[in-house]
Amino acid sequence: MNNSAHHLLSEFQLPLKSPVLVFSLILFIILLSPLILGKIKVPGIIGFIISGIVVGPNGFNVLEKNSAIDLFSTIGLLYIMFIAGLELDMNEFKKKKYKSFAFGFFTFSIPLLLGLPVCYYLLHFSGEASILTASMFATHTLVAYPVVTKFGVSKNEAVAITVGGTILTDTAVLIILAVIIGSGEGSLNFQFWIQLIASLIVFSLIMFLVIPRITKWFFTRLESEKTSHYIFVLSVVFFAAFLAQAAGVEPIIGAFVAGLALNRLIPASSSLMNRIEFTGNALFIPFFLISVGMIVDLRVLLEGPQALIVAGVLTVMALISKWLAAFLTGTIFKYTKAQSLLVFGLSSAHAAATLAIILVGYKAGIIDKNILNGTVILILATCIIASFATEHAAKQIVASEEGYQPEKTDEEAPENILMPIANFDNLESMLDFAVLLKDKTSPQPIHLLSVVHNNEDAENNLRIARKRLEGLLHYASASEAGVEVLTTIDYNAASGVVRTSREKDASLIISGWPRKTTFLNKFMGDKTETIIDNTDKNLFVCHLTRPVAVHGRIVLICPPFTELEAGFSLWLSKVCALAKELSAPVYCHCSLRTENAIVSFLDIKKITVHFNFVDNSDWEHAASLKGWLKADDLLFFVAARKESQSYQKAFEGLQTKLERYFGAVTKILVYPQVNPYSYNSLANGMVGEQ
């Protein structure tokens, strides 16, 4: 009994040694810290850092900062940088790249120019120590980025230029670090520069040419293995971090570049992105923040006035220089106060890169203990201020964006997507496509519909269909897009789809591509044609030949007068939404009149998708596009129902023509909602056929 009690007590000796107990404690911190401190309006990020201070070796010494903590901390830091690169709106970044370069220049040069004289003349540091400390002011870590994700403003232009500027300034600072260390070791020669430049070029070629091709091949070959997709992505992140380290820069650069390389292949609304963000936000990123707190030693403030002076000066200089960079950027580019504050909040936190620079300098004997301790206090202060500033700015931006959204009238019902299922083999691909198109503000779920023939086996077939559909609810839940299963009985599938679309007041029907026409189809009538003729809803007929995420560009074919249809805004908004998700350019073949209508729509909605317009008067002949399309293109062809304003004789047999000329290309045939008067006359002619 005594031995058992002694063994039990030994498990709780500080610092804790049991891996199970250590992991349990960290999980409880991750769970309870945001809940407790959230009651007093303290951001969750600060809660993790404060918790790290309390339980760390410089606090109550409950946990020691061992190799396991360092491992999870490194994973969390790389995860933050990877997600930042992954969530970067590439279309927005390309349009605003010069703004990112400008901010990167300001946030690098201003801290360096202000910090050098302060460190050298005021604090009396040596030349190398002054350069290293001043360059530390220029770095920043995106500690507050999870706040941006939480409030849904990660696509804001201010975020895009800050993230872009982060990688520019951190890369420049880390190169300075490499140069200073090389100078200290006496290896700063011509060979050093050649080796550094060559290794960075090789690294870039591997990341932006080789990795995307391998990823696209992997996603295409193992489309249904979603767990393997996540493991593959993690492997790419850490391999990229290793390659960056081998190239002579910090691993965080490699993780960020991995995010950029995979940006187009992992849409923001996909289930894979949801898994990546969930795992990072639930485990790895909190681990990193806790480990940052474990480094902080508040006792340095009691070691004498010199430590306080150094800590105070370093902290004030770091914050002032970053505020000036954000203020100057906001003034030049006419940002709102909230956007300027957001830039400051994201760029003012010092953690990972700062620690890397100072620790390397300390170990090399370039800086002393006072600078090291002052930097630790700087990290705590800037992380707290950055978190509060970012959260305040994000709330203001969300409030201002909501203020510009027009209130929905009674006639403007929330978007409602109906997806009839005839072929269960490609259901996951169809569901992924629907999730990418779905309006994130609509409370309505995606309705999966299976129609069972009304015969003696109807009840049994109904149960089988419902069971098969419900088996996909687990898959759909990974994307957090609401999905509802519908099964119904009707004398034929098309009639069931038409009736259900009216009952559910569907605004968009997403249907699979019709199977090849048989003699029976010709005799009984094609199901897709029946749905087209008997509904006035927006209809997307989809032939997905490969995963949606691997498509490189969108090709949009708009015959004359498509802008006159009632569904013009809806289908165009869906094309734009898909282009943003895939970070893909849109090549639009249309008339000048249609081009003007599209440009006007983009301007009114403030959509930043990159459109390339091609004046193609030979659109009636599908074969003319055959040599122009690529295998990884996603083709949208806007057709029209009979008696609608944009209907053309060439639309007859359009599905067959597209199948003949573009069999291997992903095709979306769009039938826009028709104007009411056109549909009423059309429907009256159909009454006898119902």
The predicted structure's pLDDT at residue 10 = 66
Q: Is the pLDDT of residue 76 over 70?
A: yes
Query: By C-alpha distance, which of 626, 636, 633, 638 is closest to 584?
Result: 633
Residue 667 parent element (H or E): strand 666-671
Q: Is the pLDDT of residue 85 over 50?
A: yes
Average pLDDT over every residue of 501-516: 83
Q: Are 355 and 295 in contact (CB under 8 A)?
A: yes
Query: By C-alpha distance, which of 648, 649, 641 is closest to 670?
Result: 641
Average pLDDT over every residue of 499-507: 85
Average pLDDT over every residue of 283-288: 86
Q: Is the pLDDT of residue 303 over 80?
A: no
Per mean pLDDT, which of 358-362, 398-402, 546-550, 665-669 is the most reliable? 665-669
Length of the chain: 690
Q: Calculate the CA 442 to chain-centre distance.
A: 20
Q: Is the pLDDT of residue 561 over 90?
A: no
Q: Nearest 5°: phi and psi at 215? A: -65, -45
The predicted structure's pLDDT at residue 258 = 92
The predicted structure's pLDDT at residue 675 = 64
Q: Indicate the angle between helix axes 226-247 and 67-86, nearest 10 degrees.
A: 100
Minimum mean pLDDT among 38-47, 167-176, 309-318, 536-545: which range? Answer: 38-47
The pLDDT confidence band at residue 522, using thresholds 50, 70 and 90, is very low
Give every strand in the sheet of 666-671, ordered side by side: 483-490, 446-453, 417-420, 508-512, 538-543, 666-671, 633-638, 553-557, 586-590, 611-615
Average pLDDT over every residue of 462-489: 69
The predicted structure's pLDDT at residue 519 = 40
The pLDDT confidence band at residue 545, using thresholds 50, 70 and 90, is confident
Average pLDDT over every residue of 594-622: 79
Mean pLDDT value across the chain: 79
Write a three-state SS string for 373-422: HHHHHHHHHHHHHHHHHHHHHHHHHHHHHHHCCCCCCCCCCCCCEEEECC
Q: Which residue blocks in 281-304 are alpha helix, DSSP H?
A: 285-295
Residue partners of 103: CB distance under 8 A and separation at least 6? 161, 162, 164, 165, 325, 329, 343
What are the tokens at 502?
Answer: 């009216």
pLDDT, one tens digit per residue, over 2-50 is 666 666 666 677 777 788 888 888 899 988 888 887 777 666 777 887 8
Q: Is the pLDDT of residue 601 over 70?
A: yes
Q: Is the pLDDT of residue 477 over 70?
A: no
The predicted structure's pLDDT at residue 411 = 44
Percent of the chain predicted with pLDDT > 70: 81
Q: Nearest 5°: phi and psi at 219? A: -65, -35
Percent of the chain predicted with pLDDT > 90: 10
The predicted structure's pLDDT at residue 265 = 87
Query: By C-alpha distance, which of 305, 272, 326 is closest to 107?
Result: 326
Please report, to the nearest 10 degrees, the dihedral formed by the alpha carbons of residues 14, 19, 23, 25 taken in order. -20
The predicted structure's pLDDT at residue 182 = 66
What are the tokens at 536?
Answer: 């006035």
The pLDDT confidence band at residue 690, using thresholds 50, 70 and 90, is very low
Query: By C-alpha distance, which of 6, 58, 52, 60 is closest to 26?
Result: 52
pTM for this prediction: 0.72
Q: Is the pLDDT of residue 680 over 60?
A: no
The predicted structure's pLDDT at residue 238 = 93
Neighbouring C-beta atoms of residue 59, cutoff 10 Å: 19
Q: Say if strands 538-543 and 666-671 run parallel, antiparallel, or are unpaired.
A: antiparallel
pLDDT, one tens digit per residue, over 189-235 is 777 778 878 888 999 999 999 999 999 888 888 766 678 888 999 99
pLDDT, one tens digit per residue, over 313-342 is 888 988 999 999 999 998 998 888 888 999
Radius of gyration of the chain (CA): 29
Q: What DSSP assignment string belongs to 302-328?
A: GS-HHHHHHHHHHHHHHHHHHHHHHHH
Q: What is the DSSP letter of 608?
A: -
Q: Is the pLDDT of residue 527 over 80?
A: no
